[in-house]
Amino acid sequence: MAGYVSEAVIKRLPGYYRHLRELEAAGVVQISSQELGKRMQLTASQIRQDINCFGGFGRQGYGYKVSELKGHIGEILGIDKPHSMIIIGAGNIGNAVAQYPSFIKEGFQTVAIFDKDSQKVGRPIGNQTVRTVSELEEFLMSTHVDIAVLAVPVPDAQHMLERLGALGVQAVWNFAPTDLKPPKEMIVVNVHLSDSLQILSYKMTHCDEK
Amino acid sequence: MAGYVSEAVIKRLPGYYRHLRELEAAGVVQISSQELGKRMQLTASQIRQDINCFGGFGRQGYGYKVSELKGHIGEILGIDKPHSMIIIGAGNIGNAVAQYPSFIKEGFQTVAIFDKDSQKVGRPIGNQTVRTVSELEEFLMSTHVDIAVLAVPVPDAQHMLERLGALGVQAVWNFAPTDLKPPKEMIVVNVHLSDSLQILSYKMTHCDEK
DNA sequence: CTTTTTTTGTCTGCAAATTAACAAAAATCT
DNA sequence: AGATTTTTGTTAATTTGCAGACAAAAAAAG
């Protein structure tokens, strides 16, 4: 059980959680690193090493208790507690995020949606109504939010990031296809959908030569 | 200049392309690995190694010509040629993908949208009209598509993947939050939005201890 | 109750990826 | 035109990540 956890391990955690959730739903109560490895296309060794970054959750000769391990990883991911989100940009992406059922199930709750376009302001999205982005300061003054979802056009993204930072927002989930320079102490995770699509294009173009 | 290109390099290619596009738009004609590295938060050494997987595109004492390098990487990614896409699932995600402006700009063109829900069939999305998913076979018989975007609920995803595979679709861009088992010779790239959000949650929870 | 099997947690070694180093080539300066 | 600076392409060193091995612990079998 180490102090430092590498980025590689962190990126695998949601995968563990997803599989454990599916296993639990299927009524599986116990699983060995070998079985889980077969399911997740990882070696048993790697699974044991990953899990032991956080503590010995297994029992020798038995394996891991699915619900227990899922609980631990949920805690480690920080999704055992609910998170409040605001969405900046009520376009297609903003819309999709606001209504994506998995997020709500996992405790990520959208508490407000903002847009600068007056045509969009007032429209209902999910259980929210789109607000003017000029109300942002006022809103954040009175309400604490954990995460801001940035779904604005590229030219507005950096400026909005800094505006959010100044208002005390610490975490941003960015959908603008650009590399933002996060102010200190701000955490930004990018989605970059185009990157993912371009990788698909790369693999299509080069799949034969292998 | 090697034959095999590692996954790590491939994942960085879209980032290079994005920065080079931005540089070109800003009127920058030449750049050194050092400058590009500072911009992209990578070491100059890594940039030179990455680029040299594909050939010596630079000139000593000068650096790289932005537009030339962008062209090369565009070719390598396979985005110099247009791609046709169909979207399966006309929910929020399907909607967002169909209308995301960057994709159209980059030559990814949506040629049809399908949904099983009869309420959604017939609705206009972008310049398309939603079709019944039962027309899928007929459509793919007469029209070749490069990529299928999978934006259906988890329980339908694996079955739809196999159906697409049987119809000759080779590349799938999957938004269903589950791990699909791709039939041989099919390329699947996952988006897994929840994973990304959970990683944000992890970093929020653990940022202080660093 | 003893023996055998299972399976973890950890240690050791290998492979992959990143960084550093440097000669060779091109550009710039004097 | 020669000297100096810049910067690449490539090789070497370092670091990181992953897989194999195995003792110790727990469970299962006899």
Q: B16-64 pLDDT, tens per residue? A: 999 999 999 999 999 999 999 999 999 999 999 999 999 899 999 999 9
Digit-coded pLDDT (tens) for A39-93: 999 999 999 999 999 989 999 999 999 999 999 999 999 999 999 999 999 999 9
For Cα atoms A111, A115, A121, give the angle at the middle one, nearest 5 degrees: 90
Answer for B143: CB within 7 Å of strand C.
Answer: no
Number of Cβ atoms within 10 Å of the Cβ of A60: 6
Contact pairs from chain A to chain B, CB under 8 Å:
162
Note the pLDDT tens digit of each residue in B145-157.
999 999 999 999 9
Chosen from A22, A23, A92 to mutate, greatest number of chain B CBs within 10 A? A92
The reported pLDDT for the residue numbered A6 is 96
pTM of the model: 0.95
Nearest to A114 by CA among A97, A179, A105, A106: A97
Residue A68: what pLDDT? 98
User: What is the structure's pLDDT at A210?
Assistant: 42
Give dist(CA B197, CA A18) in Å, integer.
13
Separation of A9 CA and C4 C1' (Å): 35
Strand partners, A86: A112, A148
Nearest nucleotide (C1') to the CA of residue B55? D9
> Do the chains contact at A77 and B19, CB–CB below 8 Å?
no
Check: CB of residue A121 under 8 Å from CB of residue A130. yes
Picking from B134, B127, B129, the residue whose alpha carbon sits closest to that of residue B90 is B129
Smallest CA–CA separation between A173 and chain B, in Å? Answer: 7
Cβ neighbours of residue B204 closer than 8 Å, sequence gap 6 or more: A78, A146, A147, A170, A171, A187
Q: Which of residues 183-202 of A touch B (CB under 8 A)?
A: 185, 187, 189, 191-202
pLDDT at position A209 over 80: no
Q: A18 exposed, middle or buried (CB, 10 Å; 0-12, 13-18, 19+)?
A: buried
| All residues at 6 or more sequence positions from B120 whose CB lies less than 8 Å from its CB, including other chains | B90, B130
Distance CA B86, CA B108 (A): 10
The partner residues of B86 in beta bridges, in order of sequence, read: B112, B148
> In whole angstroms, what is the distance from residue A98 CA to residue A95 CA?
5
List Cα–Cα distances, A112 to A85, A148, A195, in angstroms.
7, 10, 28
Burial pattern B28-55, b for ≥16 Cβ within 10 A else e, equals: eeebbbebbbeebebeeeebbebbebbe
How high is the pLDDT of residue A207? 81
Structure-block tokens of residue B209: 């201890």
Q: What is the mean pLDDT of residues B53-76?
A: 97
Q: Which two tokens stand for residue A162?
A: 């800094």
Set of chain A residues whose Cβ sits within 8 Å of the Cβ of B14 = 192, 194-195, 198-199
